[in-house]
Each structure stands twice: as structure tokens, then as C-alpha cells.
Amino acid sequence: MPEPFHHGGAVRFGPDGLLYATVGDGSATTDPSVERSGGAASLAAWRGKIVRVDLQPTAGRAPAYAVPADNPFASGTTATGQDALPEVWAYGFRNPWKLTFDPASGGVIVVDVGADRWEEVHRVQPGGDHGWPAREGRECVLLQDGGLLDPGCSDRAGVAPWVVYGHLAIDPDGGQAVVGGVVVRDPELPALAGRYVFGDFVSGRVWAYDPVADRRELLLAAEPGISAIDEGPAGEVLIVTLAGSVRRLIRGP
């Protein structure tokens, strides 16, 4: 990690029994010399990735995991023959610090904290390039001199974000650091069933995203410092804050 920032850190077992872990790009600023040398776009580096491994014990195995045969780069190379870490499941993230699974499909949803302008929610595509550092949100990243960080950005195929919202300087109703998130299955919240609930660490806003209608709805403005949105054993939507509270999202009157 080049700097002590943005390390990712979500570690979850998926419905397939495999372990998923997120790794941030480890930088606080958009430095082209850092990003172009082993950054999130490089499949031969760990930074800016989601990795997927099998931890089922096998006698004499070293390391203590196996690479699933259906990992996109399990062979250690890409389709064009470039070197790739076989553990990599998806790439192109800045700080994918929260990850969850859609209980209906088993798909992976991850939030990725932006740099200067946009926050992102991704429905992850295995093997897909999710944009960073060439793109932030749906825009190509510009350097201070006005040039593109990646001159080939507009021609680069990639996975578009599921949800994008602006930083407060762009959108006063937005935020600064996205926090995920659960697909709602709480029987006490029937109007939100199947929607993805997420929030923002800085603004304290909490939204629900309807993937069918492609619509984001503000649910409430909670206190700043939301650090996690997760679910309880019966599907309860729980909002955790740095102030030390764990609160349940309930239906209003």
C-alpha cells in the first residue's frame, strides 16, 4: 500500500461457500505515477480488487486456500495472455470497503468510495473492470493539467456503476463517502422488499435503490458517521454509527 488510506477490508463468505475480500487502492490522492504502476487497473497487483478463494481444508495445502476453478483469471493469465493474479475476481475499485450478497440471486454488491466527485454502488461483474482509476462515477478522471489520467478512457470497456451520486460540492443532497448496504428482506418493511439500502458516512443520508425501476429514494437523514448498514438474524436492517449506536430501520407512521 503506497499510503495509509483506503485499504478496503470487507471479508465475507458468499452463498457459494467461498471467501470474498476487498482490497482498496491504498492511496489518498489521484496520483498517476501510483495508479499506472500496479494500481487498481493492473491484474498482476492486489490493490483495487475483489478476491475470491476457497478455504476448505486440504491436507498439505500451501497456501492454505485454493483458487476456485471458475475464477475469471484462474489460469494466471488474461484472454490476451497478460499476467493476472488467479485470486482476482473483479478489479478497477478505489476503496470497495463494504460488500454484500443479493439473497435472491447470490450476486455481489459493493460500494466504492470516490475521490473528488462521485460515489458508486456496483453490482459486480466477475472479471469486469469497474472503472478506477480511468473513471470516477461515469466520468473519465481528469488530472490537474486538464489531461486524462487514462488517455484511452472513452474507448475502454467497463462495468458501469449501478448507482452514482455526487459529492456535496456537486450535489448538496449527496454525500462524500458511500456506505453499504443490504438488500431488504425484513418482513416488517414490505415496501422496501428487494431494494438495496445504503448510506453516506459524511452526510448521514440513507437511501433505498430499486433496481427494477432504476430509482433511488431518500429514506432518512440520520446522524453523520454511519459506518455500516447490515442485517440482523431475521433480516432487520441495522444502521451502525461511530457514535456507538446500532439502530433498526422501521416503517414510519
Do 12 and 128 fall within a single domain?
yes
Spell out the SS3 assignment of the chain. CCCCCCCEEEEEECCCCCEEEEECCCCCCCCHHHHCCCCCCCCCCCCCEEEEEECCCCCCCCCCCECCCCCCCCCCECCCCCECCCCEEEECCCCCCEEEECCCCCCEEEEECCCCCEEEEEECCCCCECCCCCEECCEECECCCCCECCCCHHHCCCCCCCEEEEECCCCCCCECCEEEEEECCCCCCHHHCCCEEEEECCCCEEEEEECCCCEEEEEEECCCCEEEEEECCCCCEEEEECCCCEEECCCCC
Domain boundary pick from 166, 188, 210: 166
Do 115 and 202 fall within a single domain?
no
Domain boundary pick from 166, 191, 217: 166
**What average pLDDT does this structure show over 42-61?**
86
CATH number, domain containing residue 113: 2.120.10.30
Do 90 and 143 fall within a single domain?
yes
Do 99 and 152 fall within a single domain?
yes
pLDDT digits (tens, 9 = 90+) for 233-252: 999 999 999 999 999 999 88
Do 180 and 129 fall within a single domain?
no
Domain count, the chain: 2
Do 128 and 184 fall within a single domain?
no
Domain limits for position 182: 172-253
pLDDT digits (tens, 9 = 90+) for 132-173: 988 999 999 888 788 888 888 888 889 999 999 999 999 999
**What average pLDDT does this structure show over 173-178?**
96
**What average pLDDT does this structure show over 14-21?**
96
Do 231 and 142 fall within a single domain?
no
Do 107 and 152 fall within a single domain?
yes
pLDDT digits (tens, 9 = 90+) for 181-218: 999 999 999 999 999 999 999 999 999 999 999 999 99
